[in-house]
Amino acid sequence: MRDGIPHSLGELAEAIGARVRGDADRRVRRVDVLEFADGEALAFLANSRYRKFLKDCRAGAVILAEADLEACPVDALVMENPYLGFARAAARLYPEEPGRPGVHPDATLSPEAELGRDVVIEARAVIEAGARLGDGCRIGAGCYIGREVHIGAGTRLFPNVTVCEGVEIGARCRIQPGAVIGSDGFGLAREAGGGWVRVPQLGSVRIGDDVDIGANTTVDRGALRDTVIADDARLDNLIQVAHNVEIGEHSALAAFVGISGSSRIGANCTLAGAAGLVGHIELADQVHITGMTMVTRSLNEAGAYSGNIPAMPAREWKKAVVRFRRLDDLATRLRELEKRLGPSD
């Protein structure tokens, strides 16, 4: 692990909201895992699976919870949420390097674009007419920013991001390489003869503040109204967000999630890898979908939901679903019947 900017444990404790057990003046300069960390490294323990490595740990310090402190043989930063502490500490040790403000000579910038202060535009980026970039925006190499795109202060687009016409992106967002924001939604009308007619996609995309969007994720523009991603939503790589989808604040979606058109996801929801939603359904706030679950109806109550089964003819599947829903009732009736009949011989 490469070295970062050295910090004392006292400095880090103040920054992450922890207390020091041991030498507050000890300095660490990098982060590492428990089993390999040396005396200049900061490690953390947030998962009980890795507690076995704590007793032999040689790190300069470990971020951990009070319950694990007694078993720790080195200095410690003690807090309720060690993983959160690690995230904050790593950001202090490895601050993101600022770009050099200005427009690279190989970039293409419309004279009708508006740039805030200290904007960075890297090589081969294209900024179209009417685009507005807030203070401190950073536009990576090879990005395309379409007409009338508005991007808030401090947002960073990594290389080769495409932002199509009319999209609005809030402040302090991070959009990873290859993401496409505002491409046409999959709107098609069927002709009597079997062909398809494209439905014009006339809406746009509105993204709130502090949103992360992963590499090669696509967010389609709305058909009539906008596709909306609310503040502090977090989207992993390779996610498909279809037209007119709404994703609530603080929700997090893992890789390969697919969301069909006009579905709405509430606040503080999580969707694990490869989960899918059919169109025109709603998830309430605090709904958590496990990996590879297919959601085919609205979920109006908070909680965790799972479900997947190998493919079968659709008519058989519908009958099976009805039977699945009756299983608990059938089991209860069976137990009552067994009680009446008494123990078997």
* CATH code for the domain in which residue 272 is found: 2.160.10.10
Instruction: Determine the structural domain holding residue 242 and report its residue range.
Output: 102-305
What does the chain come to in residues?
345
Same domain as 207, residue 136: yes
- Asked whether residue 157 falls in the same domain as residue 270, the answer is yes
Q: Are residues 203 and 248 in the same domain?
A: yes
For residues 50 and 14, membership in a common domain is answered with yes
Residues 282, 152, single domain; the answer is yes
pLDDT at position 192 is 92
Question: Which pLDDT score is estimated for 342?
Answer: 77
Catalytic, 250? Answer no
Same domain, 150 and 203: yes
160 and 178 Cβ atoms separated by less than 8 Å: yes
What's the gap between Cα 192 and its chain centre?
41
Query: What's the pLDDT at 234?
Result: 98
DSSP reduced 3-state for 139: strand
In angstroms, the CA 115 to CA 181 distance is: 20
Q: How many CB atoms lie within 10 A of CB 2?
A: 7
pLDDT in tens, 293-305: 999 999 999 999 9
Task: Look at the chain and report how many structural domains it folds into.
Answer: 3
Q: What is the CATH number of the domain that holds 18?
A: 3.40.1390.10
Please check whether residue 326 is in contact with residue 333, taking contact to mean a CB–CB distance below 8 angstroms: no
The pLDDT value recorded for residue 310 is 65
Point out the residues of the chain with pLDDT beneath 70.
310-311, 343-345
Judgement on whether residues 89 and 108 belong to the same structural domain of the protein: no
SS3 (DSSP) at 180? strand
Please check whether residues 147 and 211 belong to one and the same domain: yes
7, 104, 150, 243: which is the annotated catalytic residue? Answer: 243
β-bridge partners, 205 = 227
**Tokens of residue 232, six digits:** 């502090």
pTM of the prediction?
Answer: 0.90
Task: List 20's β-bridge partners, or say none.
Answer: 77
pLDDT of residue 323: 86
83/116 same-domain check: no
What is the structure's pLDDT at 345? Answer: 55
Q: What's the pLDDT score for residue 344? A: 62
Is residue 2 included in any domain, yes or no?
A: no
User: In 140-217, where do the E strands start and end?
Assistant: 144-145, 150-151, 156-157, 162-163, 168-169, 174-175, 180-183, 188-190, 196-198, 205-207, 212-213
Same domain, 82 and 107: no
Helices 82-93 and 9-16: angle between axes, nearest 10 degrees: 120
Confirm whether 53 is domain-assigned. yes
Q: Do the domain assignments include residue 310?
A: no
The answer to whether residue 1 is domain-embedded is: no
DSSP 8-state class, residue 299: B
